[in-house]
Amino acid sequence: MHNLIAHALIQNEKGEILIIKRTLIKRGKMNYEGGRWDIPGGTVEPMEFPSDTAIRETKEEVGLNIKILTIIFEKSIRDKVKKAVFTTLIYRGDVIGNTDIVLDLEEHDEYRWVKPKEILEMDNNLLVSYMKELIQQL
């Protein structure tokens, strides 16, 4: 089984990156990597292009409309327990129109705009697994 996940990296005019903190509980269940900082994104639905997933998830999770510029990161991992491969694609996205953040509080309970250097200085336990590798490639 192969699972595809797509995210959007969004930077403001100061070069700061939008990060969002995952809730510990999501719809009554433990949230995967709950309590860690991530960027908007989620699972690609059947017959959906990954770039469209990044756009949709950004709108759902933080209320922003974005346009996709380019793919900037890809990482695959094999989960032997789940007998599945998970591939994460990350796109650079630009905000279109309104820049007000409106969090989906079922999934994320906090957001911040941070400089890439600040992310690299954060404790690994506070970030989703791919975050520092992504930032180092920017």
Q: Dihedral sign, CA of 110, 86, 122, 13?
A: negative
Q: What architecture is domain 2-136?
A: Alpha-Beta Complex (3.90)
pLDDT tens digits in sequence order for the chain, 138 residues long? 889 999 999 999 999 999 999 998 887 777 788 899 999 999 999 999 999 999 999 999 999 999 999 999 999 989 888 888 999 999 999 999 989 999 999 999 999 999 999 999 999 999 999 999 999 998
Angle at 66 between CA 55 and CA 86, to 5 degrees: 30
The most distant pair of C-alpha atoms in the chain lies apart, rounded to whole Å, by 43
In this structure, are residues 41 and 8 in contact, taking their beta carbons and an 8 Å threshold? yes
Angle at 33 between CA 44 and CA 123, to 5 degrees: 125
| Model pTM above 0.85 | yes
- What are the structural domain ranges in the chain? 2-136
